[in-house]
Each structure stands twice: as C-alpha cells, then as structure tokens.
A and B are shown apart, each in its own frame.
Chain A
Amino acid sequence: MSGSGELVFWFAAALAVLSAIATVAMRSPIRAAVGLLFHIISLAGMYLVLHAHLLAAIQLIVYAGAVVVLFVFVIMLIGPSAETGLGTRGLLVRTASGGLMALVMGAISFALIDYAPRMLAGVENCPPGAGAECGQYGGVKALGGVLYGAAALPFELVSVLLLVAILGAIAVARGRSADETEALKARKLARASAGGQ
C-alpha cells in the first residue's frame, strides 16, 4: 500500500478509537451522538484507504446523513431527561463485565496484529494477470453489477425490510390523540360495566 494510505489509516484509526471512546463515555447523549458522527466519518476514510469508494459514500449518506440525524432528533424530542446518571444497580457486575470484555478484545486484537500479516503475507490488491476489472474494485460499476446481479434477491428483500421497518417505527412510536384515548377509555368502561352485571 502507498505511504499516503498508511498516513490516512493511522489518522483515521486514532480518530475512530478516540471518537468511539467519546461516544461511550460522554454523559450527555448529544455529545455522544457527535462522537458517533466523527467515528462514522473516520470509518468512511478507512473505507477509502481500502478502495471501497462506493461504501465510503454510502457510509456518509446513510450513517452520517440519516442515522445520526435520527439519533439527534430523538434526543431533542426527549429533552433534558435524555441525560441519565450511571445508575447504581449492578454497578460492580457491569464494571466487571466491561473489564472482561476489554481484556478479551484486547487479547484478540493483540494476537491478530501479531499473526495476520504472516497468515496473508504477499496477497496484494491486484493479483498478477488480473484483467481490467481489477482497477474498478469498489467502484459504483463493479459493486452495482454485483448488487443487481448475483445479490439481486437480497437487495430486493432489503427494500422490503426497510419498508417494514418504516411501518413498524411509525406503529410503535405513534402516540394516541386525545380523541382516541377518550374512545379507548369509554370502551374499557363499557366492557367493565358489562362484565360487572
């Protein structure tokens, strides 16, 4: 890989780790959302290093443009009570489980940094004898060809999933209007009096 790619990697990696820690550690959810935004932008940079250009754009559009905005929207909707304390229930168990997770993931990442280069040494971006397709790796044409070719069925299923998610989100988050609440109460009262007779 080129030297500039290495530079971008280390910068994006530092930013990704720091912003992930900020996301998890910030007391105020709005600050955590800003941390998540920086995390997503740094991962988009990481995708550029990995020649996944279309995915970097999708990451910015879908995550930074939609998911983070949705989070900020909900935090604003909930208001000041969105900020909660750490909570005391099971604090010891929670801290212990978090520490155990840190130990396990630290060990895994340490082992992987040590072993993976030897495991996959010499595998380069474009294998020798590759055709013109190799230069298009990660571009719109190549990825779109897969999405509308071999992965066409899951692609269509994802559109159905998104539709169901929209309907589900509306059905779950929608409150009742005052009229509907009154009608529901009247129906319950009528049922109770009918049962009491």
Chain B
Amino acid sequence: MDLSLGHFIGLASVLFGIGAIGFLVRRNVLIQLMSIELMLNAVNLTLVAINRWMPGNHAGQVFAFFNIAIAAAEAAVGLAIVISVYRLKKSVQSDSVDLLKH
C-alpha cells in the first residue's frame, strides 16, 4: 500500500485530537501549553504534507516555517505568564486563576 495524502492528514487529525483532549481535560497550565504545541505541530504536518502533493511552490512549507516561529514566541510568552501566575498564586493549576469569575 502506497502512502497517500490521506495517511498524513489522518495522522495529523489524530494528533490534533490528542492535543485538544489534553487541553480540555488537564488542568495543569504547563501540560495545557504542551497540548497547544501538539495542536500546532499537527497543523504544521498538514501544511507540509499538502505541499508535498502540490510541489509547484513552497507555500505550505513557508507557512509551516512561520508557524514554528510564532509557536516559539507563543511558548515564550505563555511560560512567562505561567511564572507570573505561579508567583501570585503559588500554583500552576488553571482552576486557581478565577479572579474574573467571582
């Protein structure tokens, strides 16, 4: 059986689903950030795979490149917020950040 685009997109959607489940179910902010990285990586995989089946240009790979740069910036700012919240609440549980709820 030859590899087709469907294999890659199917795998990417499985990985995206795992990341989304992790983000929804876990309450540890660090693990939630890692789940976001999983979802971004899954999207990158679809972009690169679709680009492979349409090799006339490099649009998909360039988008994946920019996604990687933006994911790095997101991780840096997100982890800075985690440190700031930890300093305030002494906890990395996202349930502990409910100032706007009450």
The total of Cβ contacts below 8 Å across the A-B interface reads 244
Contact of B15 among A16, A58, A170 (CB under 8 A): A16
Question: Which chain B residues border A143 with CB–CB below 8 Å?
Answer: 58, 61-62, 65
Contact check, B57 vs A146: say whether CB atoms are below 8 A apart. yes
The answer to whether residues A21 and B18 also contact, given A52-B48, A67-B72 and a CB cut-off of 8 A, is: yes
Please report the total number of A residues contacting B with Cβ < 8 Å: 93
Question: Which chain B residues border A47 with CB–CB below 8 Å?
Answer: 48
Question: Which chain B residues border A120 with CB–CB below 8 Å?
Answer: 4-5, 53
Contact check, B80 vs A50: say whether CB atoms are below 8 A apart. no
Measured in the bound complex, the distance between the Cα atoms of B71 and A32 in whole Å is 18
Contact check, A29 vs B2: say whether CB atoms are below 8 A apart. no
Contact check, A71 vs B25: say whether CB atoms are below 8 A apart. no
Question: Which chain A residues border B76 with CB–CB below 8 Å?
Answer: 70, 165-166, 169
The answer to whether residues A105 and B11 also contact, given A50-B48, A158-B66 and a CB cut-off of 8 A, is: no
A162 within 8 A of B: yes
Measured in the bound complex, the distance between the Cα atoms of B72 and A158 in whole Å is 11
Contact check, B27 vs A87: say whether CB atoms are below 8 A apart. yes
Contact check, B34 vs A112: say whether CB atoms are below 8 A apart. no
A193 within 8 A of B: no
A67 shortest CB reach to chain B, Å: 5
Question: Which chain A residues border B91 with CB–CB below 8 Å?
Answer: 81, 84
Contact check, B25 vs A162: say whether CB atoms are below 8 A apart. no
The answer to whether residues A74 and B77 also contact, given A52-B48, A55-B61 and a CB cut-off of 8 A, is: no
- Majority DSSP secondary structure for residues of A touching B: helix
Question: Which chain A residues border B69 with CB–CB below 8 Å?
Answer: 62, 158, 161-162
A196 shortest CB reach to chain B, Å: 27
Contact of A86 among B4, B8, B24, B27 (CB under 8 A): B27
The answer to whether residues A147 and B65 also contact, given A20-B38, A24-B31 and a CB cut-off of 8 A, is: yes
A128 within 8 A of B: no
Known pairs A1-B2, A71-B33. 6 more at Cβ < 8 A? A23-B31, A46-B48, A81-B92, A87-B95, A102-B17, A169-B76
Task: Give me the interface of A with B, judged by CB distance under 8 Å.
Answer: 1, 5-6, 9, 13, 16-17, 20-21, 23-26, 29, 32-33, 36, 39-40, 43, 46-47, 49-52, 54-55, 58-59, 62-63, 66-67, 70-71, 74-75, 77-78, 81-84, 86-87, 89, 94-95, 97-98, 101-102, 104-106, 108-110, 112-117, 119-121, 123, 125-127, 134, 137-138, 142-143, 146-147, 151, 154, 158, 161-162, 164-166, 168-170, 172-173, 175
